[in-house]
Amino acid sequence: MEDNTNSLLRFTTAGSVDDGKSTLIGRLLHDSKSIFEDQLEAVEASSAQKGLETVDLSLLTDGLKAEREQGITIDVAYRYFATPRRKFIIADTPGHIEYTRNMVTGASTADLAIILIDARHGLLEQTHRHSFIASLLGIQHLVVCVNKMDLVDWSEERFRDIVGAFQSFSSRLNIPDIKFIPISALLGDNVVDPSAHMPWHHGGSLLNHLEEVHVSGDRNLQDCRLPVQYVIRPQVDDARDFWGYAGRIASGVFKPGDEVLVLPSGRTSKVADIRIGDRSIPKAFPPLSVTVTLEDDIDVSRGDMIVRQHNQPEVVSQIDTRLCWLAATPLNPATRYIIRLACSEVQAKVSEVLYKIDINTLHRLEEDKAIGMNDIARVSFRLAAPLMVDDYRENRTTGSFILIDPASGATVAAGTIHL
């Protein structure tokens, strides 16, 4: 569908506190020439004021530290940069354990996750937690950066020990592509340029891998799904009869002339036109936001879904989910929550909490069913009305949802559906 070297790569970074995440992002931005001169001058001045002999690149991403120290919630910071070969969006999430829910937010749209490990400390609880969340959210590509190799004398043996420990743990995860890179974010080794200190590493630099990793094949181009977000009726003289159905393509490829089915009504028609703004396009695929017109006059509303007649989502009144609890207030099985999936909303009540998951061991905790902030659990919901869904492993958009407290309107959980 597109040239991989020019495609957008969304990735998230995760690691324990002081693993060097801010320095790594700063190094990527600096060495790829993606920061302005005045930004660099400000960082150089701040580093000099601290009495540092080298530039502290973590200052490029630590602008929100003061707000965090004042107790102000920081969700996810999105940073943008580009090289001649590719454009990137980084979802930068806090490293503390109490911010696990923020990692879920940042990773939910990511194609790839970078897990940082301090070479001195090896795998920690957060390593397990973040890797499991990446697996839970269906991320297909993981890069394990063993950082601070300069503090372990560039030891190949230490790197191999950490790789072996992670491989033993990750065998229980569902991540098909895992790459290991030894780096020093502080000195720049193997971040953008290959390291002269580690000639035993032949896997290239982190940026080289980010530029070359192929993610367009991860998209579901078979199951056509267009959740209708908005019905467009211009109400102007030259377009009195215009009916357009706007939304973001969740999966599949739509073209004019395609026979389609509108759910839940079950009415059929053909695609007449597909537009982005005022321009017609020959085909639409994820994640394009488009307006579709149909050949027939059909009653279509927000929350409906345009699909193919012989390739339909499941219509369910009960769902089995993996849930990450985001709110300070714990899950209350007596509450009627609201599930928002794509453009649909439906009331839902907990029918059963099956188990919680121990992030360190991935064992099921079947006796402890109290769900609080940052907990991940298997929960079944009974729905007040049918919902159109796919298994999350097949479709991340129509297989995931957020849970809303109807009293406060706050998002209290994020979940994935497993059929």
Q: Which residue has the higher pLDDT, 95 or 89?
A: 89
Q: Which residue has the higher pLDDT, 193 or 105?
A: 193
Output the pLDDT for position 390: 95
Output the pLDDT for position 62: 52
Report the percentage of the chain scoring pLDDT > 90: 53
Last residue of a domain, one of 202, 218, 234: 218
Q: Are strands 336-341 and 400-404 parallel, antiparallel or unpaired?
A: antiparallel
Last residue of a domain, one of 173, 199, 218: 218
pLDDT single digits (tens) 395-409: 988 999 999 999 999
**Co-location of 205 and 321 in the same domain:** no
Q: What is the dihedral of CA 288, 294, 297, 300, to 10 degrees?
A: -20
Output the pLDDT for position 121: 93
Report the percentage of the chain scoring pLDDT > 70: 83
pLDDT band with cut points at 50, 70 and 90 for residue 346: very high
Query: How far is the CA of 367 from the CAs of 20, 356, 357, 363, in angstroms?
Result: 37, 9, 11, 12
**Co-location of 100 and 158 in the same domain:** yes
Output the pLDDT for position 174: 85
Mean pLDDT over residues 87-108, rounded? 71
Output the pLDDT for position 14: 82
Which of the residue ranges 51-60, 237-246, 363-372 would you say has the lowest mean pLDDT? 51-60
Return mean pLDDT, the chain. 85
**Co-location of 106 and 123 in the same domain:** yes
Query: How far is the CA of 24 from the CAs of 43, 45, 60, 291, in angstroms?
Result: 15, 20, 10, 40
The residue type at 321? T
Q: Which residue has the higher pLDDT, 132 or 191?
A: 191
**Co-location of 248 and 193 in the same domain:** no
pLDDT surpassing 70 at residue 43: no
**Co-location of 140 and 282 in the same domain:** no
Q: Residues 232-242, buried b or exposed e (16+ Cβ, 10 A)?
A: eeeeeeeeeee
Output the pLDDT for position 46: 65
> Encoding tokens for residue 81?
């940069």
pLDDT band with cut points at 50, 70 and 90 for residue 371: very high
What does pTM read for this prediction? 0.78
Last residue of a domain, one of 307, 331, 364: 307
- Bond from prior residue into 287 cis (ω within 30 degrees of 0): yes
**Co-location of 88 and 121 in the same domain:** yes
Query: How far is the CA of 297 from the CAs of 60, 238, 245, in angstroms?
Result: 54, 18, 12
**Co-location of 73 and 177 in the same domain:** yes
pLDDT single digits (tens) 177-189: 999 999 998 888 9
Q: Find the length of the chain.
A: 419
**How far is it, in rounded angstroms, from Cα 300 to Cα 233?**
12
**Tokens 């690691």 sit on residue:** 15
pLDDT band with cut points at 50, 70 and 90 for residue 194: very high
**Co-location of 169 and 46 in the same domain:** yes
Output the pLDDT for position 70: 43
Kindly report the CA angle at 132 between 129 and 135, in degrees rounded to 5?
155
Q: Where does residue 104 fall: left (phi above 0), alpha (psi -120 to 50 degrees), or beta otherwise?
A: alpha
- DSSP letter string, 130-151: HHHHHHHTT--EEEEEEE-GGG
pLDDT single digits (tens) 122-134: 998 888 888 888 8
pLDDT surpassing 60 at residue 356: yes
- DSSP letter string, 50-82: TT-SS--GGGGT-TTHHHHHTT-----EEEEEE
pLDDT band with cut points at 50, 70 and 90 for residue 324: confident
Tally of domains within the chain: 3
Judged by DSSP in three states, 116 sits in strand
pLDDT band with cut points at 50, 70 and 90 for residue 68: very low
Output the pLDDT for position 5: 39
Q: Are 381 and 348 in contact (CB under 8 A)?
A: yes
Rank 9-23, 97-111, 157-171, 233-247 by mean pLDDT and report only the highest: 157-171
**Co-location of 22 and 93 in the same domain:** yes
Q: What is the CATH number of the domain that holds 85?
A: 3.40.50.300
Output the pLDDT for position 58: 55
Q: What is the CATH number of the domain that holds 282?
A: 2.40.30.10
Domain that holds residue 8: 4-218
CA 413 to chain centre: 15
Q: Which residue has the higher pLDDT, 303 or 32?
A: 303
Mean pLDDT over residues 16-36, rounded? 72
pLDDT band with cut points at 50, 70 and 90 for residue 40: low
**Co-location of 256 and 294 in the same domain:** yes
**Co-location of 236 and 196 in the same domain:** no
**Co-location of 261 and 372 in the same domain:** no
